[in-house]
Amino acid sequence: MHTQALIVGGGPVGLTLAIDLGRRGVRCTLIEQKEAPQFLPKMERCNARTMEIFRRMGIADKVRAAGLRGDIPMDVFIILSLAEPPLLHLPYPSVERARAEIRACSDGSLPLEPYQLISQYTLEPLLKSIAEGLPSVTVRYACQLESFTQDESGVIASVKHADGTGGAIEASYMVGCDGGASTVRKQLGIKLRGEYNILELRQALYRCDELFERLPIGKGPGRGRHYHVADGNNGFLIMQDSTKHFTLHAVVEKDAAMNAMFERTVAIPVKYEMLTCAPWRQNLLLADRYRDGRVFLAGDAVHLVIPTGGLGMNSGVGDAIDLSWKLAATLQGWGGPALLDSYESERRQVGDRNVGASRYASLGRRKWHAQYRPNIRENTPEGAATRENLVRVASVEQPKSNEMIGAELGYRYVDSPIVCDIPGGPEHRFRVYEPSTWPGARLPHVWLADGTPMQDHIPYEGYTLLRLGRTNADTSALEKALRTLGAPLAVLDVPDDAPRQVYGHDLLLLRPDLHVVWRGNQPPEDPGNVAATVTGYGESDTRAQATLRFSG
């Protein structure tokens, strides 16, 4: 079998990559060793940037329809049990309320799309069905990668099917999206480095149809997404998207102890069923490399984080979108050699920062958990002091896990070979997002005068030159240079005042993933150099060579 791109792994990252490549007309094949998506609780939230990406892919509405209802708040509580007043209540808006806040905001500080609570066991089958509906995408479950070889012309993968038969798949490129135990990464000999086995917990998935409907229980906390238990077991109850399933994490020695923990946390008689229970370990790891020749790695195969902060799967979706358009450009013939080289340069720095953000959030949670004392329930001065101290610390430390808007939206590709870099730039901050069009940054969301978002006007394919503030700058030389290299280009004149005010410049050049690659108030002095840089033609390929390649 011949394909342009072979994707190993059918989780959300691999499926997102397959869908995006399919939308760009790339023939790709996805293989997954499981026979079908599994009903296991893994990720449970698509963050704002992921939802913006899904909007550009045309699937955001389907994701929201499958996920948690839009009217349910995303509040976070620290509790003794669900039947007692919460020690700490951190309110976070429902999707509907967040959308109203976004609608009223015009300064670029908010995302176009709010987050969406959706469990991986809901998201994965949805993405699978979308991928299977694309004519250029082949999805094969119950198909396991055995080994592979590569040379300058492509990759040959040996696979085995569930019935024991084998075969070979030839591909121009291969991408390992096969998780933390990645077969692809291991065969390449690429190491994960960092902090292993920080903490071992158990995770149990429960079906409990009545619990959500009975909230609040007496004076207990109301409806929300996370209930952190102030105990000696690191207890943590999560509402899943159906509102009938809950996951419980705790440090206990045996599976059977999880039921007792669940009953203590709920604190009222309810009918429930444990569906799964398994141990898991917290890791903070980053791969040495993201690429070897024609083989790339994405998602958990190259970065493993603690779920605090919600940066695991969402980082992987960012990997997939960064790599997808670069693979498509290369396969379509207009991408220079530095285009694929830039994948590791760009995404590994984001992986490194997100490992740091996850560490920051996890340390915050550990700090307030460390304030727990066995007397926390006592109606004594000592018990009251324990509660007061835990709340004092938690009110500072727990928001670190829930407020990662800077990490979500504010990441910027520094020293990328395909970005016209400017020395300096805004600070990378985990919890604070300040809109910026500094080269390498994501284009901030801005509403236009007609009520539509700027992002919706940016074409899916190729580059976009935004001409703002009624500029009369002559950009024809830059436009010609890009088109001479074969790069798709759209030019948009946007007379509205709001984008010019937020973006701060008259001219912005964007790439397909909405990251800024060049900006200015006048056309560049050397438009050929800008065009060659952003399309991946560096010093090894002169502009003359690149021009001859596409004009001859």
pLDDT, tens digit (0-9, with 9 covering 90-100), for 68-108: 999 999 999 999 999 999 999 999 999 999 999 999 999 99
Among candidate residues 121, 140, 100, the one with its CA nearest the CA of residue 37: 121
Find how far residue 248's CA is from the centre of its chain: 23
With b meaning 16 or more CB within 10 Å and e meaning fewer, what string describes 275-287? Answer: eebeeeebbbbbb
**457-470: per-residue pLDDT in tens?**
999 999 999 999 99
**218-241: per-residue pLDDT in tens?**
999 999 999 999 999 999 999 999
Residue 212 has pLDDT above 80, yes or no: yes
- In CATH terms, the superfamily for domain 68-117+199-281 is D-Amino Acid Oxidase, subunit A, domain 2 (3.30.9.10)
* CB-count exposure of residue 498 (10 Å: 0-12, 13-18, 19+): middle
The tokens for 328 are 């498509």
pLDDT at residue number 538: 74
CA distance 310 to 318: 13
Q: Which CATH architecture has domain 410-551?
A: 3-Layer(aba) Sandwich (3.40)
Q: Percent of the chain, pLDDT > 70? A: 97
Q: Strand, helix or coil at 461? A: coil
Record: fold of 2-67+118-195+285-359: FAD/NAD(P)-binding domain (3.50.50)
Describe the strand order of the beta sheet including 192-195 as a list of residue ranges: 192-195, 284-287, 303-304
Q: Strand, helix or coil at 468? A: strand
pLDDT at residue number 542: 53
Residue 543 has pLDDT above 70, yes or no: no
**369-410: per-residue pLDDT in tens?**
999 999 999 999 999 999 999 999 999 999 999 999 999 999
Give the end-to-end CA distance of the chain in Å, rounded to a whole number: 33
**99-134: per-residue pLDDT in tens?**
999 999 999 999 999 999 999 999 999 999 999 999
Compute, in degrees rounded to 10, the torsion defined by CA atoms 405, 406, 407, 408.
40
* CB-count exposure of residue 65 (10 Å: 0-12, 13-18, 19+): exposed
**459-514: per-residue pLDDT in tens?**
999 999 999 999 999 999 999 999 999 999 999 999 999 999 999 999 999 999 99
pLDDT at residue number 421: 84
Find how far residue 443's CA is from the centre of its chain: 17
pLDDT at residue number 544: 46
pTM summary value? 0.96
The tokens for 271 are 């009918």
pLDDT at residue number 202: 96
* CB-count exposure of residue 176 (10 Å: 0-12, 13-18, 19+): buried
Cβ–Cβ under 8 Å, residues 277 and 258: yes
Angle at 195 between CA 441 and CA 405, to 5 degrees: 30
Among candidate residues 430, 268, 423, the one with its CA nearest the CA of residue 357: 430
pLDDT at residue number 551: 42
CA distance 52 to 495: 24
Cβ–Cβ under 8 Å, residues 26 and 84: no
Angle at 451 between CA 448 and CA 456, to 5 degrees: 65
Q: Where are the domains of the chain?
A: 2-67+118-195+285-359, 68-117+199-281, 410-551
The chain-wide mean pLDDT, for the chain, equals: 95
CA distance 548 to 49: 39
